[in-house]
Amino acid sequence: MHNQKPLVILGIDPGTTITGYGLIAFSAHSMRPIDYGCIKPPSKYPLHERYLIIYEALEQLIILHRPDAIAIETQFVYKNAQSALKLGIAKGMAILAAGKNKLPIHEYAPKEAKLAVSGKGSASKQHVQRMIQLLLGLSTPPTPEDAADALSLAICHANHLKFQEKLRQGVHP
């Protein structure tokens, strides 16, 4: 935000079945959506190939939109260790897509992302979707949930950067 060029943030909500993504551009006084959606590798494919599809789709998004940073979810709660392992592999795809493209990666807890868009860490999915619609001026609430979660991570990181910038300028946020 030191200059007028908007920063582009790619939010990623990794998952083996569905990986949500959300891209926003923001500057000191505006925030706009670029693209959002989800990567859903065909379930009939072997798991290894599904991970590769996730990686390649994320890399395509990075090449196309040249984000300045990536925001990803910090996971705390799992159904079980086997799910955590699979989720870890999917998360690895996002970490590597960022790393190989020399993009900084920032992690936020789900509560922080909800708080950033709705002011409530315990907001419902529907509330989060409506708030993202308002913040980004979308004609409808973003769906599916995974894409909305990815957008909220991107917005959360944008807010974090704005906050840091204000501190840098000596303005009480």
The only residue of 2, 42, 43, 81 in contact with a second copy, by rule CB under 8 A: 81
DSSP state of 5: S
For this structure, is 149 an active site residue?
Answer: no
Find the catalytic residue in 107, 146, 149, 165: 146
Name the residue nearer to a second copy (CB basis): 100 or 120: 100
d(CA 94, CA 84): 15
Q: Is 146 a catalytic residue?
A: yes
Which residue from 5, 28, 45, 49 is in contact with a second copy, where contact means CB under 8 A? Answer: 49
Look up residue 21 and give its DSSP letter: E
Distance of closest approach, residue 89 Cβ to a second copy, in angstroms: 4
Out of 84, 121, 137, 168, point to the residue binding a second copy (CB under 8 A): 84
Indicate which residue of 68, 73, 107, 112 is catalytic: 73
Interface pick for a second copy out of 39, 58, 90, 135 (rule CB under 8 A): 90
In this structure, is the dihedral angle defined by the CA atoms of residues 71, 108, 14 and 127, taken in order, positive or negative?
negative
Give me the residues paired with residue 9 across strands: 24, 69
| Whether the Cβ atoms of residue 28 and residue 1 lie closer than 8 Å to each other | yes
At 78, which helix (H) or strand (E)? none
Which of the residues are catalytic? 13, 73, 146
